[in-house]
Structure 1
Amino acid sequence: MKKIILRIIRLFIGYFVCAVGMVMTINANIGVSPWDVFHQGLGNIFNLPIGRASIIAGLIITIIDIFLGQNIGWGTIFNMIVIGIFVDFLMFNKLIPIFNSFFLSLLMMLLGMLVLGYGCYIYIGAGFGAGPRDGLMVALTKKTNKSVRFVKNSVEILATVVGYLLGGSVGIGTAIMSIAGGYFFQFAFKTVNFDVSQVEHRYISDDIRFIKERLISVKEDKA
């Protein structure tokens, strides 16, 4: 039980670190990240703040993950909801600064990508299933045998195009993050010797199977 509690704490710490990284890239104000272009596009359609729009995006991507055969964990569900809440909390309370200097904004954006990479390492490593977007990255990495860098860059370029068509804003920072984002993630993972394909997750299907087995065991004992 203690081990599970520590893993849950790690999960939510990872979510918060991811949210900090996301808000750093947003507040850099030189073009939002590829996924946030998509979130902005959805926000324009449904008249929602970017955090809530990311929750809707997470639901859509989770459905795609299931279609690709990616198992869904409780971490996937929490990710879909909690990161968006953390993002709105950080932005509404202005806890991440906004700089007028282009150099400082660029530096914050680059650091934000690195923070986001470490946040993903923290929560994916908890073993409760990858989030919708990272689950898509994991699923495609396994299916294509391509590098994390290649898969992440390809997916985010697609998200940028779709988000732009939906009305999301694109800037020089978006181009930088589309190209360099995968490198930052791969660098973050390498510094902690983290291989996403080697993580053993506990999925919702495992819990359902466990409960069924326990119920069958109880019925047999009573018989």
Structure 2
Amino acid sequence: MAKHHSPAKLLNLNAIDQLRSGRLSRRVPQLLLGLIGYGAAVMALVQSGLGAASWNVLTEGIAHQTGLSFGWTTNLIAVVVLIAWIPLKEMPGLGTILNVCLVGLAADWTALFLPPAEGWIEKVVYFAVGMVMFAFFDALYLGAQLGAGPRDGIMTGLTRVTRQPVQRVRTCIEIIVAITGWLLGGTLGIGTVLIALCMGPLLSLFLPRTIVAINWSAKAAPRTKESE
């Protein structure tokens, strides 16, 4: 079967093909760094007090209702969201499993060393740094091409199935998730709105620079039009 070199595409490969695509010495460390950094960025946004990302608003709301820690609630939501992958035919991989295991833990670890922001200057710094980190590390782990995390898999799966632009799909998801989290007691602030508006453009900036070029089957379908 013919192989093609693809420097700028996210592919919907199955777990075996992901591992057979080579360059694991580059892709696995990038995946781990991306997931740990992603978890740290999540907590930086929470600790800013200006409003976290939509999924984190939902996590806060469920944690508030159940008494679970933020990290354990994050992992619980990740497992539940994976069920929605079935009709979308989204392909899991090593990154999917490690996302469930590492993001919540990294968030909890970060909370041990990063106290809540005090004063507006500190809040803005926390938020600005956290939002850039959030987009960059998201792109970094997705670019490793070893499987998306549960939440990003919903985004890429819906983008592929509906053929709508990734920014539109992500915005709709974040609005629905944020409102649900707020109704459950999560913190919804101006930061939540800014993240919803800025994440698409930031991902579009970082993703082409973080995707690892791999050998892929001609039958593999790209995840998003924007990543081509």
* TM-score class, shorter: 0.7 to 0.9
Alignment of 1:1-223 (within 5 A): 3-91=23-111, 93-94=112-113, 96=114, 98-190=116-208, 192=209, 194=211
Larger Rg: 1
* Residue 11 of structure 1: how far off its partner (Å): 1.2
| Structure whose residues are more often helix by fraction | 1
* Residue 129 of structure 1: how far off its partner (Å): 0.5
Q: Residues of 1 paired with 2:122 and 2:199: CA distance?
A: 18
Across the aligned residues of Structure 1 and Structure 2, the Cα RMSD in angstroms comes to 2.6
Q: Which one-letter code corresponds to 1:174 in the other structure?
A: T
User: Are 1:127 and 1:200, in contact at CA under 8 Å, matched by a contact in 2?
Assistant: no
User: Are 2:78 and 2:151, in contact at CA under 8 Å, matched by a contact in 1?
Assistant: yes
* Residue 170 of structure 1: how far off its partner (Å): 1.4
Q: Which one-letter code corresponds to 2:184 in the other structure?
A: L
User: Are 1:113 and 1:184, in contact at CA under 8 Å, matched by a contact in 2?
Assistant: no
TM-score normalised according to structure 2 size: 0.77
Unpaired segments of 5 or more residues in structure 2?
Answer: 1-18, 217-228
Aligned equivalent of 2:13: none
Aligned equivalent of 2:8: none
- Structure 2 CA distance for partners of 1:121 and 1:60, relative to 1, 3 Å: same
Higher relative contact order (CA 8 A, sep 6+): 2
TM-score normalised according to structure 1 size: 0.78
* Residue 178 of structure 1: how far off its partner (Å): 2.4
User: Are 1:38 and 1:168, in contact at CA under 8 Å, matched by a contact in 2?
Assistant: yes
* Residue 104 of structure 1: how far off its partner (Å): 3.7
Per-residue CA distance 1:145-171 (angstroms, 9 max, x = gap): 222222211111111011112221212
